[in-house]
Structure 1
Amino acid sequence: MKIATWNVNSLTVRLPQVLAWLDQHSIDILCIQELKQVNEKFPRDAFQELGYDAVWTGQKTYNGVAILSRSSLQDVVINNPLYPDTQQRLISATCETTAGPLRVICAYCPNGSSLDSEKYLYKLEWYAALNQFVEAQLKLFPNLAICGDYNIAPEDRDVHAKYTGDILISPKEREALQSLSGLGLTDSFRLFEQDEKLFSWWDYRMMGFRRNAGLRIDHILLTPSLAAQCTACEIDKVPRGNEQPSDHAPVVATLSMSFA
C-alpha cells in the first residue's frame, strides 16, 4: 500500500497534474492540501473515474483538504471537534485494511507568517488542539497516519543553508511537532537512510527549486504498528519540475499491507 501527501496549491489549477500523477503511480491513498476551492467545485467525478473514493472540505481562495482512497472511506470527521475554526484544515476518515481499520488524518497546518504575528500564535494554538485530537484518536485507532503539510521543518538537516527565515523552524514550532511524536508517532521519512538535502517545498522566488533551496515540511507520521510495516518513504521531486507546478512535491510512504 502506498500512502501519499501533496500540497497542490490550488486543485483547480493543478488538477491535470494530480490526475496524471495518480495515473502514473500506484497510489492507494492520497491526502491533498490547499484545495483553494469551495466544496461544490471539488472534482469528485474526475477522481472516481480513476477509481478513488473521496472526502473533502474546502473554502474559497484558501486552505481546503481532501482524502482520496481506492477503498471506501468511512467515519469522516471534518476539522477538529476540540478546536472550532472557520479555516478548513483538517479531515479524517477510516478505511479497512488487512491490518485492521486504518485511520487517516489529512492536515494543512497553519504557516504562522512571522514570529511576531497573531498568525504565529494561532499556529501554536492550532497545534496544541491537534495534539489533543490525535491523542483521543489514538485510543480508538492503533493504525493511524497523519499526512500533510505541517509547515515545520523538524531539524536543521531539513533546511537548506540558504534559508534565511525564522518561521517554520523556530523552537516553539519544532516543540509543537515533537509533541505529536511524543504521542508515539514516527516520521516515516526518517525510518530510512536518506540522501542529504532532500526537501519537499521550494519557494517560487529566486529560483528556489533550481538551487534546491528548500525545506522538508511535508510529513507522514505513523503509529508504531504502521511504522513496523513501512518499507520505504520518498519525496517525488518530478512534479515540482512541471510547468506551473505546486511549490510542494508529493511524499510517498509504502506499507506492507493492503485493503481488505
Structure 2
Amino acid sequence: MSTPGIGDTAGAASAAAVPRRRRERSRGPLDWLALLPVLALAGFMAWEARRFHQADLALLEARWLVGAWASGERPMSPAAWLRAYDATQRAIDIHPDDAHLRIQMGALYRMAADLPRQPPAQRQIFLRLAAGQYRQAVAVRPVDGWAWGSLAELLQVTEPGSVQAWHAWRQAERHAPLEDPVRLSLLRAAFAGWSAAPPDVKQWVNAVYASARPAVQQEIDDTALAWGAPQWRGVDLAGGAAAPDPAVERWLAAVQAAVEKGLPIPPPPMGPP
C-alpha cells in the first residue's frame, strides 16, 4: 500500500476547501430578504433628507422677501409676491405636512389681500385662502399660538362672530397669550367682533388694558379704532359724543387694583360695551 505524498494531501485539502469557499460566497434568497428592511430604511432617510433640502432651497428667497416686507425694508410688488408664492408652493409640493410652510403661505395670501387697489371681492378670496392655510398649520401644530391668533383674525373678517372664530381666539389665548404678536392678534380679533364678543373675551381685553402702561393703552385704543370698536370702553374714540359707561369705568378701576395687589380679576359688568 502506498502512502499519500505531500502533494496528494495538499490537493485533497484544496479540493475540499473549494466547495466551502463557494458556500461562503453564495447567498440564498433568505439572506437577501433580510437586507430589504435595511435598504428600505436607508432609502427612506435619503428621500426625507432630499425633501428637506429641496424645501429649504425653494423657500430661501421667499423667506427673505416676506421678512423684508414685514419689516418695511422694501415695498412689496406683485411680481416679487408671485416669485415668493411660487417658491413657497414648490416647497409645499415637496413637504405638504410642514406647518411652517403653511404659515408662510398664509402670510403671503394675507399680503396679497393688502395689495394696493385690490378689489374687495378679490381681497376676500385671498383672506379665505389665508385662513385655509392657517387651518392646515394648526392641524399639524395645534399648540402654535401664533398660527391660532392669525386664524382668529382672519375668521373675524371672513366669518365674523362664528363659533370657529372664537374657538381660534381661545386657542391662541391658551397657548401664547403673552407673546406680542399673538396678543396683537387677540386684540384685533376681539375688536373685530366686539359687539357680539363672549364675556371671557371682553374680560381678557379689559384686563390687558387695565394692567397696561398708558402708552400701551393708547396702542390698544388705536387697535380698537382700526378694527371697528371705537366705543369699546364707552368712550367714542372716533371723537363722537358717547359718554363713558360708569359701570365699565368702575370695573376697570377694580381690575387695576386687583392687578396691583395680585388678587383675582373681578368679572366684567354684563351688557355693553
Class of the TM-score when normalised by the shorter of the 2 chains: under 0.3
Bigger fraction of residues in helix:
2
Question: How does the TM-score come out when normalised to structure 1?
Answer: 0.27
Q: Which has the higher contact order (CA 8 A, sep 6+)?
A: 1
Question: How does the TM-score come out when normalised to structure 2?
Answer: 0.26
Task: Give 1 or 2 for the bigger CA radius of gyration.
Answer: 2
Bigger fraction of residues in strand:
1
